Amino acid sequence: MDGTQSFRFFNRGPSPAVRLVFFAVLSLLLMFIDARYRYLESARSAVSVLISPIQRMATIPGILWQQVDDFFITQNAHQSLLAENAELRRQHQNDAAQLLQLQALQSENQQFRKLDELPIRHEFSTQLAEIIYAERNVFKRKVLIDKGSQADVQLGQVVMDDAGIVGQITRVYPWLSEVTLITEKDHAVPVQVVRNGLRTILFGSGDTSQLSLRYMPVSADIQIDDVLVTSGIDGVYPPGIPVAKVTKIERDPVYPFARVSCLPVAGVDNHRQLLILSGMPKLPERPEESPASDAGKHARLRRSN
C-alpha cells in the first residue's frame, strides 16, 4: 500500500503552482547569470543555429502569401494603368479633333471677316456663298455653291474671295449654282496692267496655279510682278478687281508673241466661303456690220488692187 501511494505521488509530481515558481526562479537566475557573466552566449548561438531552418520554414507561408498578394495587387494596378492609358489616349484624340475643328472655325471666321471688310463699290450688292461640291473631273475647274435661283443668282455673276476674282456663274439650279473658275482651260478674263494700263486677255490653262497671257507682242511693256486687274470691258467683270500677278516672261525674237505666265491672286483652291457680286450694268448691244458695208469694203479693196 505504501508502495502504491509512493508510486502515485511520484507519477503525479509537483503541483502547477510549484512548477510555476520553480521555472520563474530558474528563468530569473539564468537571466541574471547571462546578464552578469555571459555564460549562456555560446549556448544561445548554438540554439539559434539549430532553430534557424525551423524559423525559415515557419516564415515560408507568410512570404508566399505576401507574394501572391503583391502579384494580384500588381495585376490590378497594371490593368488600371492600361485602362487609364486607353482613356487618356481616347481623350487626346478627342482633344486633337476638337482642336482641328476649332482651327478650321477660326480660319473660316477670319475669311468671313476679310470678306465683310472688302471695299466693294456701292453699285454692286453681294451675298455670301459656300462651296459644297467640287467637280469630279480633274480636268475641269468648276465648283458648286449653295446659292441658286431661289437666292436670285443669275448667269454671269462674278464670284470672288477676299483677294480677287475666283470665277463666274455659268449654270444656275434652284438651290445650287455652278462656278467656272478663272483657271478653267481657255476661260477668258479681260484684264489690264495696273502699272501702265495695258489691256489684254487672261486665259486659264487648266492648272489651278497658272494663267497665261496669249497674243502678247514681244515688244509689249509688261514685267514680272506686274499686277493684273479686271478691265471692265465687255461688261462681264467689274473693273479694278485683282486677278493675277505676272510670274514668268519668255521672249523669243523668232516668234511674234511672248509667253507670259501668271499666278492667280485669289485662293481658287483654298477657301470655302465666297462672295457673289451682283451683275454688271447691262451694256448696249454691240452693233453688227451690215452686208452692204462688207460689200463696200471688198469693192474698195478690189479698186485699190
Taking the domains of the chain in order of start, what are their residue ranges?
2-39, 126-277
**Spatial contact of 179 and 170, defined as CB atoms under 8 Å apart:** yes
CB contact set of 283 (below 8 Å; sequence gap of 6+): 234, 235
State the CB neighbour count (10 A cutoff) for residue 148: 19
pLDDT (0 to 100) of residue 50: 77
For residues 164 and 24, give the distance between their C-alpha atoms in angstroms, rounded to a whole number. 111
Q: Which of 162, 159, 199 is nearest to 183 (CA)?
A: 159
pLDDT (0 to 100) of residue 106: 63
**Spatial contact of 118 and 275, defined as CB atoms under 8 Å apart:** yes
Pairing mode of beta strands 188-193, 227-230: antiparallel
For residues 256 and 113, give the distance between their C-alpha atoms in angstroms, rounded to a whole number. 46
* Cell triple for 192: 489690264
Any idea which architecture 126-277 has in CATH?
Beta Barrel (2.40)
pLDDT (0 to 100) of residue 111: 58
* Cell triple for 86: 486607353
For residues 304 and 298, give the distance between their C-alpha atoms in angstroms, rounded to a whole number. 10
pLDDT (0 to 100) of residue 131: 87
φ and ψ of 215, to 5 deg: 60, 35
Name the E strands within the chain: 126-134, 142-145, 158-160, 165-172, 177-181, 188-193, 199-204, 211-217, 227-230, 242-250, 257-264, 273-277
| Average pLDDT, consecutive stretches of 10 residues, N- to C-terminus, the chain (305 residues) | 49 74 81 70 72 78 79 78 81 70 62 58 73 80 89 88 87 92 89 90 86 89 91 81 90 87 85 79 66 53 48
Q: Which of 230, 170, 174 is nearest to 200 (CA)?
A: 230
* Cell triple for 90: 481616347
Pairing mode of beta strands 227-230, 242-250: antiparallel
Dihedral sign, Cα of residue 56, residue 57, residue 59, residue 60: positive
For residues 74 and 71, give the distance between their C-alpha atoms in angstroms, rounded to a whole number. 5
Beta bridge mates, 196? none
pLDDT (0 to 100) of residue 112: 56
Beta bridge mates, 134? 143
Terminal Cα-to-Cα distance of the chain (whole angstroms)? 184
For residues 224 and 177, give the distance between their C-alpha atoms in angstroms, rounded to a whole number. 35
CB contact set of 225 (below 8 Å; sequence gap of 6+): 245, 246, 247
